[in-house]
Structure 1
Amino acid sequence: MNSITADTTAPAPTEATYDPATIMGAIYGDGILGLKGAFDRAYIQQLGDDIGRLYTEALQRPGGAVGRGTNRHYVEIHPEDIHGFVELVTHPWVDAVCRTVLGPDYKIVEIGFDVPNPGAKDQPWHRDFPAEATTLVERRLDSLAFNLTTVDVEEDMGPFEIAPGTQWDDPSSYDHGMFPPSSLYPRYLSRAQRKYPKMGDISVRSALTIHRGTANHSNKARPVLVLGVDAPGAGHHEKHDLQFSERYYQTLPESLRQHLICRVVPELEPIMQGHTIEGLMMGDA
């Protein structure tokens, strides 16, 4: 039976929140860490409005959204199409986590959002991509996924569920290195934690930690912004198409540009979703 626990995100920023040992202990231990109240609700409300508009547009464009299971979609976006991109990626806690786990030359490679709609079913337990030798042999994590909810998450809305510590599990029996066999599900269920973040909270995790979206029994969608960050050389940018228009790129501080792997284009081009997860597109658990 699922172990449904209270959200374990950290309190408001303190000196301890930014302590490298605290950050490394969480990401290398449980595989997830959070910060409550990182952004004010007005900022999140605007972000939610932006995502709603972009979601509608993506669904009307061929290849604009990719399925992640029944009534679920992922949409990669242009940073300048949302308000507050710079405020998000330069938040002191976001920067501190990236520097601590990935090093001072970390690279932002992805921004998008997931939307589990009403009627979404339990996803199969999975990783977002296969573990490489960096993790399997060197025991080093070289990527992070930040999640920022745009709604107050309630139990019936299909909360995110994670099995702490499983970023280190042996994937030799996994389908495509990402989908564990059902014989391992009892292990994940015994460790499972559901998360109930509120508007303004942010979390960060290793995408290798086994997780899933749960069934959305409500009449409300649960949109969540996703920010992907790599250590130098991790290579996950190849699955994405981070773009900036020349005019917008020139407005970014140089300190931020150094952390981007992106294309700078005269005019923004439609994004054809590249990070498909076949096992999620084909069905549910």
Structure 2
Amino acid sequence: MTNFEAERDAIYTDGITALKGAFTTEWADRMREDINVAFAEALERPGGAVGRGPNRYYVEIHPEQLRGFADLVAHPWVMGVSEAVLGPGYEIVELGFDVPLAGAVNQPWHRDFPAPEITRTERVLNSLAFNLTAVDTAEDMGPFEIAPGTQFDHEPDFDHGMFPPKDRYPRYQERAVRKFPQRGDISARSALTIHRGTQNHSANPRPVLVLGVDAPGAGNGDKHDLAVTHGYWESLPAAARDHLRCPVVDELTPITQKHTIEGLVMGEA
């Protein structure tokens, strides 16, 4: 496998890296079709979709709900970055998507969960979030905004270990970079890097797939409920089975989202 030292360095320095054109636009369009189906289903049942701010939702899905799952987790760049940052025993623990709809507002600056002890004391990152846009992102669609180099920010005054106080906002606004990925692009980031979704001024949703990957022992899998059926498990390539840590079941149960981030519900105050 190609050396991914540059990508590892970028994640440790900026908190994010990316690959343009990892997949075809046709692959991305199929991904969006699957997201649309899963989103409509999730909105119909209690706990299927969790709010991440006004007109903004997160839905966790099973691998079988995404036709391109095996392509994604066996992609050389996904495998290479995961191994370079998290080690050869990395674990796939989460699959889901964010959907900022028309009218979504600015989120408060945040990280997705409190920094673990190993990050605070040893500056070691033990998880990654891969993101793939389902649409070509435009300026008016509420692009993702990230403050590079903030993944190691000390947080004793962060609310719930995730939300910096407003007197810290100038630091993030000075560093802020808006991202405009296109269909087929993929990024990898530390979910600890301070970021936010911005206001969607358009009439269009901006769905984004999320693949969560842990180093062994990181424990983020406890927040998620991935499962696969026996037949699907047998159909997966070894590159997927070797890293997918989830139950193999006779029948799938729709996921009720556990990872609620209450500080995002109201949007930016």
TM over 0.5, shorter chain: yes
**3-state DSSP class of the match of 1:247?**
helix
Equivalent pair of 1:70/1:284 in contact (CA under 8 Å): no
Q: Does 1:77 align with 2:61?
A: yes
**Aligned amino acid, residue 156 of structure 1:** D
Q: Which runs of 5+ in 2 are unaligned?
A: none
Cα distance in 1, alignment partners of residues 128 and 62 from structure 2: 19
**Aligned amino acid, residue 243 of structure 1:** A
Q: Does 1:30 align with 2:14?
A: yes
**3-state DSSP class of the match of 1:114?**
strand
Cα distance in 2, alignment partners of residues 23 and 81 from structure 1: 29
User: Given the alignment, which residue of 115, 119, 123 partners 1:139?
Assistant: 123
Cα distance in 2, alignment partners of residues 251 and 132 from structure 1: 35
Equivalent pair of 2:147/2:194 in contact (CA under 8 Å): yes
Q: Does 1:98 align with 2:82?
A: yes
Cα distance in 2, alignment partners of residues 52 and 256 from structure 1: 24
TM-score by length of 2: 0.98
Deviations 1:168-195 (A, max 9, x none): 1001110000000000000000000000
Partner of residue 9, structure 1: none
Q: CA deviation at 1:138?
A: 1.2
Q: CA deviation at 1:284?
A: 2.9
Cα distance in 1, alignment partners of residues 24 and 5 from structure 2: 27
Equivalent pair of 1:126/1:210 in contact (CA under 8 Å): yes
Equivalent pair of 1:122/1:284 in contact (CA under 8 Å): yes
Deviations 1:137-182 (A, max 9, x none): 0110000000000100000000000000000100111000000000
Deviations 1:235-255 (A, max 9, x none): 000000011011111211234
TM-score by length of 1: 0.92
Partner of residue 232, structure 2: 248
**Aligned amino acid, residue 179 of structure 1:** F
Cα distance in 1, alignment partners of residues 29 and 43 from structure 2: 21
Q: Which runs of 5+ in 1 are unaligned?
A: 1-14
Runs of 4+ with deviation above 4 angstroms: none
Q: CA deviation at 1:261?
A: 1.4
Cα distance in 2, alignment partners of residues 37 and 49 from structure 1: 19
Cα distance in 2, alignment partners of residues 273 and 175 from structure 1: 22
**3-state DSSP class of the match of 2:64?**
helix
Q: CA deviation at 1:23?
A: 1.3
Partner of residue 254, structure 2: 270
RMSD (CA atoms): 1.1
Partner of residue 175, structure 2: 191
Q: CA deviation at 1:25?
A: 1.2
Cα distance in 2, alignment partners of residues 61 and 33 from structure 1: 35
**3-state DSSP class of the match of 1:250?**
helix
User: Given the alignment, which residue of 34, 42, 49 partners 2:33?
Assistant: 49
**Aligned amino acid, residue 149 of structure 1:** T
Cα distance in 2, alignment partners of residues 111 and 196 from structure 1: 22
How do 1:104-119 and structure 2 match up within 5 A?
A: 104-119=88-103
Q: Does 1:221 align with 2:221?
A: no
User: Given the alignment, which residue of 133, 138, 163 partners 1:179?
Assistant: 163
**3-state DSSP class of the match of 1:88?**
helix
Q: CA deviation at 1:256?
A: 2.0
Q: CA deviation at 1:111?
A: 0.2
Cα distance in 2, alignment partners of residues 189 and 146 from structure 1: 23
> Percent of aligned positions with the same letter in both sequences?
62
Partner of residue 59, structure 1: 43
Cα distance in 2, alignment partners of residues 20 and 78 from structure 1: 28
Q: Does 1:156 align with 2:140?
A: yes
Q: Does 1:260 align with 2:226?
A: no
Aligned residues: 269
**Aligned amino acid, residue 106 of structure 2:** D
Cα distance in 1, alignment partners of residues 84 and 9 from structure 2: 11
